[in-house]
Structure 1
Amino acid sequence: MNAKALFRASLPLKLKEEAAGDKPLSSGDKAADQARTAELAEEISTWQDIFYAENRRKLLVVLQGMDTSGKDGTVRGVFHRLDPLGVRTVSFKSPTAAELAHDYLWRVHREVPAQRELVIFNRSHYEDVLWPAVHDQIDAKECKRRYRQIQEFERMLAETGTVLLKFFLHISRDEQKKRLEERLADPEKHWKVDLNDLEERKYWNDYQHLYEKAIGETDTDEAPWYVIPADSKTHRNLAIASVVGETMKAMKLAYPAPNPDYFKTQVK
């Protein structure tokens, strides 16, 4: 089954609550699905070694979704086998005073991958449209302007050698409630709780509408969006690992040609 085609955002996008529980790649056996994800993680690690040696391209993975949708879990579950030498995770928080003194893409551009690097954005530049729009800090006209700027920014990245994969982790409101309650009930998970997460649930419908709009405005062939059902953590990881694996395989990665002089060299 072609995971890239299966999860590619279908426009116009309508985020349905029940779709968050879909598991089209599942075998029906949780342990088997976890084993398959582990296999894919190992394959991605192998591809990364060639990608790094090739020293020709860059890979940017964007993870977006509501609170508790599994951005951290995806990093741990899909990318944990990668060589730290060539991978970096960036988590975007509320902008600092210095960042606010620049344009909103300034802090993002600093973090995009360098050659041979795989970078994972845990939240991203899309936060600079979603949160301000929900809280009436920017209007529809400014949203439209930012969608255009983001699309142009991502096109520039693609044209200068960056492969982009954007994942929206689609969690249902009920599943988010369950995960938040689990964190509140477990003292060892209290460090994960931000009371603002509970407050933001009031704006659930607004966020869903804005995600539909943002994905619709910025899904392009060079920077595609993939909508991943995220109520099942196991299937979420399997789906994302499948898309990443297919993408890296399609890149036709190859080790650099051997240096013929090395065949004549002896180590003394």
Structure 2
Amino acid sequence: MQLDQYKVTANISLTKSQTKVVIDDAEKELKKVRKQLGKLQDTLYAHGKYSVLICLQGMDTAGKDSLIREVFKDFNARGVVVHSFKVPTELELKHDYLWRHYIALPARGKFGVFNRTHYENVLVTRVHPGYIMSENIPGVNAVDDINESFWNQRFEQINNFEKHIAENGTIIFKFFLNLSKEEQKNRLLRRLRKQEKNWKFSPGDLKERKLWDKYQTCYEDAINRTSKPHAPWYTIPADDKPSARYLVAKIMFDTISAYTDIKEPELDDDIKANIELYKQELNNE
């Protein structure tokens, strides 16, 4: 399987990108690779020099929540921390828009998952620029002040943020779950038909769906401006959930496995020389 085809290394067009790929035995293959990822996380923790940040973006119903549940099922619970970023709180709005993401970054040795990310600040706010007004930014006194220069600056800030954390040991993955409009319709209808799924539905989902084309344009622009070698975007076909989950897990495993310096630290020479003595001491208790 050529996983590099999903990595964004040149400008892409989302209208020409795949939204569905079906991988044989995807669920079976996922079980294998997620166990490997779990073991790799143990080594990452013992090594203690890298952290891993997984950024998940996609339209409503793209499958972010279930992907997190299935991909990280075999992790030590203390080895992965998930943050779901909603509407900024009063406290968060008193800081710059990246502050809440900085403080949620994973510690060395851990995986951090951002379910919706700092990219909401160039996606939802770009579709609804009025939201920016609640940030109380100097020089932005009206929606008309939010011009192309404003967005250029914000993209530069995001690129600098990711470059900074990458240079300090964070391995960054950014996955766009590329869902078709037709499949989103089917998933919204499923939420309405199944009583146990009703709680997931909001009338606001339909309002946002009407802005589908605008969101796609903003996603495409954000991906093209911010896919860098140290923080690449991957566009993952999301219409088939098992295949999408496997692709995400496999890309992470293959990429991290290529870091030849990530290994468990060797024991101190004095400890190694006395291992048999320590065994004997315990056995003689």
The TM-score normalised by the length of structure 1 is 0.93
User: Contact 2:49/2:109 (CA < 8 Å) preserved in 1?
Assistant: yes
In structure 2, C-alpha distance between the alignment counterparts of 1:69 and 1:81, rounded to whole Å: 22
User: Contact 1:60/1:118 (CA < 8 Å) preserved in 2?
Assistant: yes
SS of residue paired to 1:255? coil
Q: Which residue of 2 aligns with 1:241?
A: 249
Q: Is 1:57 paired with 2:65?
A: no
In structure 1, C-alpha distance between the alignment counterparts of 2:46 and 2:265, rounded to whole Å: 7
Alpha-carbon deviation of 1:2? Answer: 3.7
The residue correspondences of 1:1-268 to structure 2 (distance < 5 A) are 1-3=1-3, 5-16=4-15, 19-23=18-22, 26-27=23-24, 32-137=25-130, 138-252=146-260, 253-263=262-272, 264=274, 265=278, 266-267=281-282, 268=285
Alpha-carbon deviation of 1:140? Answer: 2.5
- After superposition, what is the alpha-carbon deviation per residue over 1:216-254, rounded to whole angstroms, capped at 9, x for unaligned? 111100000000000000110111111011012112221
User: Contact 1:17/1:173 (CA < 8 Å) preserved in 2?
Assistant: no
Alpha-carbon deviation of 1:17? Answer: 6.7
State the one-letter code of the partner of 1:175. Answer: E
Alpha-carbon deviation of 1:195? Answer: 2.2
Where does the alignment leave 5 or more consecutive residues of structure 2 unmatched? 131-145
User: Contact 2:9/2:227 (CA < 8 Å) preserved in 1?
Assistant: no
Count residues in correspondence. 261
In structure 1, C-alpha distance between the alignment counterparts of 2:230 and 2:175, rounded to whole Å: 14
SS of residue paired to 2:129? coil
- After superposition, what is the alpha-carbon deviation per residue over 1:106-145, rounded to whole angstroms, capped at 9, x for unaligned? 1110001111111000000000111111013343222211
- After superposition, what is the alpha-carbon deviation per residue over 1:67-89, rounded to whole angstroms, capped at 9, x for unaligned? 00011111012111111111100
User: Contact 1:18/1:172 (CA < 8 Å) preserved in 2?
Assistant: no
SS of residue paired to 2:210? helix
- After superposition, what is the alpha-carbon deviation per residue over 1:48-83, rounded to whole angstroms, capped at 9, x for unaligned? 111111111111000000000011111012111111
SS of residue paired to 1:167? strand
User: Contact 1:17/1:172 (CA < 8 Å) preserved in 2?
Assistant: no
State the one-letter code of the partner of 1:257. Answer: E
In structure 1, C-alpha distance between the alignment counterparts of 2:148 and 2:242, rounded to whole Å: 37
User: Contact 1:56/1:116 (CA < 8 Å) preserved in 2?
Assistant: yes
192-201 or 231-240: bigger deviation = 192-201
48-57 or 152-161: bigger deviation = 48-57
Where does the alignment leave 5 or more consecutive residues of structure 1 unmatched? none
Alpha-carbon deviation of 1:18? Answer: 6.8
Q: CA RMSD in A?
A: 1.4
State the one-letter code of the partner of 1:63. Answer: L
State the one-letter code of the partner of 1:95. Answer: P
The TM-score normalised by the length of structure 2 is 0.88
222-231 or 130-139: bigger deviation = 130-139
State the one-letter code of the partner of 1:79. Answer: F
In structure 2, C-alpha distance between the alignment counterparts of 1:181 and 1:140, rounded to whole Å: 37
Alpha-carbon deviation of 1:21? Answer: 1.5
Q: Point out the structure with max Rg over C-alpha.
A: 2
Alpha-carbon deviation of 1:186? Answer: 1.1
SS of residue paired to 1:72? helix
In structure 2, C-alpha distance between the alignment counterparts of 1:18 and 1:52, rounded to whole Å: 36
SS of residue paired to 2:52? strand
Cα distance 1:237–1:259, how it changes in 2: closer, same or farther (>3 A)? same
Alpha-carbon deviation of 1:16? Answer: 2.1
In structure 1, C-alpha distance between the alignment counterparts of 2:9 and 2:202, rounded to whole Å: 32
